Structure 1
Amino acid sequence: MGNKGTLRVIWPPAALSLLGLAAWQLVSDLGLIEPWLLPSPLAIAREALAIAPRLLEHAAATAQLTLIGFAAGTAAGLALAALLHLLPGVKAALYPLLVLSQNIPIIVIGPLFLIWFGFTLLPKVLLVALVCFFPVCVAMLTGLAQSDPHLAEYMRMIGANKREMLWKLELPNAMPYLFSGLKIAATYSVMSGVIAEWIGAEKGLGYFMLLSSKGFQPARVFAAVALVVAMSLALFAAAAAAERLFIRWRPAGGDEGGRPK
């Protein structure tokens, strides 16, 4: 996508966001909402600048947690997807249980992890990884199953084994699907990291937001929320950039699911 194409994609949401912020500021300036209830964007920005070192320290802790959990969840999702793809019997038994596991709220699992693993980094990383691995695993499984049947039949005719089929046909075909899963996981990872910090942490943006809300400091809560949004967008953008780098053959008209039209 060229610069003009990128601009056409970015400017509508950017313009709408700026319009919303201007309306928010106007409502605050007119005194229609009390500042202690909903501070203005400028007040939030001033507060963020005033506590920037402390805010960035908490952001760094959340970024570390998110990246470790995202990497661990991605690795687990890829490994499990390959295992289930190569062993259909295991997939038939395990896949429904994986889907069922996603119906358990992470706010319930988090305290159990703290009981089992203590107040260390490990339970929080596990919580983020648990959220990230499922979209990666499902997307990868879908991609591995969508190989061209004619090419698959040809490779079997020339004597390709399961490993060669996986590396030379199925895995390359699954890459667009994989990156779709990675972008979903990237979006969820920061949010799950914040929730993990709510449950039990001594630093991080989730911990900072919890303290600020209990201290009736909404400007600090909004400043932390803005950083969470920025981190989520940055991780999503990194996944999208990696997709463009590794899947140069993908047509520009490919659908959102990742499969070329």
Structure 2
Amino acid sequence: MRRLEDYLLRTNLEIRDRYKDIIYPIAVFVAIIIIWQAIVVCMDIPGYLLPAPSDIVSVFFTDTENLMKHAWITTYEAVTGFFIAVVISILIGIVMDFIPIVRKSLYPLMLTTQMIPTITIAPLLVIWFGFGMLPKVLMVTLTCFFPILISFVDGLENIDKDYLNLFKTMKAGKIDTFRHLKFPMSMEKFFSGLKISATYAVMAATVAEWLGGTEGLGVYMLRSKKAYALDKVFASTILIVILSLIFVGIVHLVRKSVLKKYNK
């Protein structure tokens, strides 16, 4: 009976802590919004300097069609570029694992390319491929590719040697070892890279649109900024954050599903 009481007490404390982890940030966020609204209203700050939260929210109702149209373009670019980055990362990671000399040759070059600022790559892609969707997709792919690849390769290389020796004693070939040992055990780090890249995908698409495009949230933000419609700039920024959170959430759900499958 005593053990049951202790268990129930621990469970209640854990549930209470979880609620606190959710409630506290929400309470702080709501307080910031209320203070922000009060400052703008009381000090009569013009909308072109700092819009009130109520004005920002109203944009989602008054300019819904236009905002959603641009959001769809950005989402499509981000999803497409992200998917291409995942496929290329897996393929190159597999080649690097099977052929070590490829890793030694390519890894330093890939590391060097990551030191090039994104803002210098996007205009080049626009010059080479035009103002359409292709340069935006390529921008997302280039941005997301490296974190995924490095996490995947790192996961493949950091397999417990005891497991590798066990597969050797069982006379397993490279393909069987990769399929039944290395690939499943690299999933944890692989999804860590996916999470990092998921936060970059929408941002990369937006930056590419900002620097040269005709559609998308980046273009919507640029036009709104030039018109001093900061309420629309804030609204599109909030939408970008929401899309990024959705991306990360989807990756998290897929991660749980995949790891549950391999851990059976």
TM-score higher than 0.5 here?
yes
1:14 aligns with 2:26: yes
Partner-residue secondary structure (3-state), 2:260: coil
| Equivalent residue in structure 2 for 1:94, among 103, 106, 111 | 106
Instruction: State the Cα RMSD in Å.
Output: 1.9
Asked whether the equivalents of residues 184 and 262 of structure 2 are also in contact (C-alpha less than 8 Å), the reply is no
Q: Which runs of 5+ in 2 are unaligned?
A: 1-13
Quote the residue 2:175 is aligned against: 163
Q: Which runs of 5+ in 1 are unaligned?
A: 252-261
What are the equivalent positions in structure 2 for 1:1-261 lying under 5 Å apart? 7-31=19-43, 33-248=45-260
Distance 1:146 1:225, change over 3 A: same
Distance 1:7 1:182, change over 3 A: farther
Render the CA deviation track for 1:33-92: whole Å, top value 9, x for unaligned: 433201010011112211111111111111111100110111111111111122111111
Whose helix proportion is higher, 1 or 2?
Answer: 2
Distance 1:135 1:4, change over 3 A: farther
Asked whether the equivalents of residues 146 and 173 of structure 1 are also in contact (C-alpha less than 8 Å), the reply is no
The Cα shift of 1:5 comes to: 7.1
**Cα separation, 2, equivalents of 1:6 and 1:204:** 37
TM-score of the superposed pair, with normalisation by structure 1:
0.90
Asked whether the equivalents of residues 56 and 231 of structure 2 are also in contact (C-alpha less than 8 Å), the reply is yes
**Cα separation, 2, equivalents of 1:208 and 1:20:** 26
TM-score of the superposed pair, with normalisation by structure 2:
0.89
Count of residues in Structure 1 that have an aligned counterpart in Structure 2? 250
Partner-residue secondary structure (3-state), 1:248: helix
Partner-residue secondary structure (3-state), 2:172: coil
